[in-house]
Amino acid sequence: MSNQVCNVSQLSISFGRTEVLKNISLTIDKGEIFGFLGPSGAGKTTLVKAIAGLQTIHTGEVEVLNAKMPTLSLSERIGYMAQSDALYQDLTAQENLQFFASLYKMKTTVRKNRIQEVMELVNLQEHLHKPVQQFSGGMKRRLSLAISLLHNPEILILDEPTVGIDPLLRKSIWQELRELSRQGTTVLVTTHVMDEAQKCDRLAMIREGELLAVGSTEELERATGTTNMEDAFLKLGGATV
C-alpha cells in the first residue's frame, strides 16, 4: 500500500507569457516534513497553492489524498497558511478562530478547547480577546498559524510560516511541527532559510520555476560533494537564497 499523500506530475503553470513552474514532478509521503527551498520568486508559493487546491493547473496533475486537485471537498483535510495573513482586522483573535472553526465545520463542543490549545502553541493566549488590528505583524503570523492548525488537518501547508517570529518561538513552533509529523500529519513548508531547511525530512530545491533536486539534507550534500545546504544549492545551479 502506497504511503504517498501527494503526487505532483509534470506540473507547469504560467501567468500570461511568464512560465512560473516548469514541468515539476515529485511525491510526498504521509507524516514527513517536506520543505520547498528557494529564493523569492522561485515558484514555491505557486507550487504549494496548487497542492492546496488554490491554484489553477494548466499542464500536468496534482493528486492529494487520492483526489485530483483542485477538489473543494478536501479543504477540511488540509490546513493552509499563506504568506499574507487572511485575518479579519476588526474582529478579536477569538472571533477569527471561531469563524474559521465554523468554516471547518468543527463541533461546537470541541471548539473552545481547541482554540485554547492552538493559542497556547503560538503563545497568544493572553491576547485572545484583543482586536487583530492591534496585533503586531509577528502576532498576526502566529494567529494565522493557529488558524491553520485549528481543525487538526491531515496535511498542513505553511508558506514562510516563521517570518517575523522571534527565534525562541520559532524553535517552539518547529518542535510542534516535528510532534505533528510523529503523529502522522504531513507538513509542507516553504522557506529560504537554510537552518529551517535542515529541519525538514526531505527538500525540493527550486530556482526560477525549475526543480533542481529532491532529497534529504544528507542525500543532497552527498550528491553534490558539499558539507552544507547553501553550498549544495549553489552547486546544483541555484542562486543565493
Q: Which three cell numbers stand for residue 207?
A: 530556482
| Total residues found in the chain within this entry | 241
72/186 Cα distance (integer angstroms)? 19
Assess if residue 219 is contained within a domain. yes
Q: For residue 17, how many other CB atoms are within 10 A of its CB?
A: 5
Beta strands at 186-191 and 18-29: parallel, antiparallel or unpaired? unpaired
Assess if residue 167 is contained within a domain. yes
Q: Which amino acid is at 177?
A: L
Q: What are phi and psi of 133, to 5 degrees?
A: -65, -15
Residue 13, domain CATH: 3.40.50.300
Residue 151: C-alpha distances to residues 25, 171, 205 (Å): 29, 22, 30
Name the pLDDT band for 35 (thresholds 50, 70, 90): very high
Assess if residue 154 is contained within a domain. yes
Over residues 55-66, the pLDDT tens digits come to 989 899 999 999
Q: Which three cell numbers stand for residue 59?
A: 499542464
Assess if residue 10 is contained within a domain. yes
Q: What are phi and psi of 48, to 5 degrees?
A: -70, -30
49/56 Cα distance (integer angstroms)? 9
Q: Is the peptide bond before 153 cis (omega within 30 degrees of 0)?
A: no
Q: What percent of the chain has pLDDT over 70?
A: 98
Over residues 143-190, the pLDDT tens digits come to 999 999 999 999 999 998 887 788 888 888 898 899 999 999 999 999
Over residues 179-226, the pLDDT tens digits come to 999 999 999 999 988 888 999 999 999 999 999 999 999 999 999 999
From 214, 216, 184, select the one nearest 199 (Cα to Cα).
216
Assess if residue 82 is contained within a domain. yes
DSSP 73: G
Assess if residue 32 is contained within a domain. yes
Q: Could you tell me the residue range of the domain that residue 116 belongs to? A: 4-235
Count: domains in the chain: 1
Name the pLDDT band for 95 (thresholds 50, 70, 90): very high
CA-CA-CA-CA torsion sign (50, 96, 177, 151): negative
* Helix pair angle (93-103, 108-121), 10° resolution: 130
Assess if residue 241 is contained within a domain. no
Assess if residue 240 is contained within a domain. no
C-alpha count within 13 angstroms, C-beta hemisphere, residue 169: 18
